[in-house]
Amino acid sequence: MITIPDTRHHFGGKVYIKEVHVPENYVLVQHKHIFDHLSYLVKGKVELNIGGKVSLVEAPACLLIKSNIYHGIKSLEDTIWLCIHATDCEDEERVDETLISKNSVDKEIYAMAGSML
């Protein structure tokens, strides 16, 4: 399982929500998923990179992330980000390996970084 600071896992009705509390100026490294999924920015402002196209997104915002497209965020302030997936997996230790394309993400998922814009 990929570890991100202050991550909470929610399972129910074949839906998994990864709730991530991201401190200001952190980057969630780009990765891609096997299936389309929704992401919801609950709180904060981020630079969102989807397939190399970077945009500024402010909460509240719901986004469709298409499968097999690299995506990642840089938090511009303290942020709460939800990743919402349809899955049968209810094991927080294994759920990432069922959703994230193999070899698409570095082992270190977050790092201090400059602007992506």
7-112 — its CATH code? 2.60.120.10
Order of all β-strands in the sheet with 15-22: 7-12, 15-22, 79-86, 37-43, 61-65
Buried b (16+ CB within 10 A) or exposed e, 61-91: eeeebeeeebbbbbbbeebbbbbbbeeebee
Q: What is the pTM of this model?
A: 0.78
Question: Beta strand pairing status for 15-22 and 61-65?
Answer: unpaired
- Domain limits of the chain? 7-112
Q: Which residue has the higher pLDDT, 61 or 91?
A: 61
**Spatial separation of the C-alpha atoms in residues 10 and 47, rounded to whole Å:** 25
pLDDT tens per residue across span 30-89: 778 888 999 999 999 999 998 889 999 999 999 999 988 888 899 999 999 999 999 988
Minimal CA–CA distance to 85: which of 74, 75, 96? 96
Quickly state the pLDDT bin for 2 (edges 50, 70, 90): very low
Residue 45: per-residue pLDDT: 98
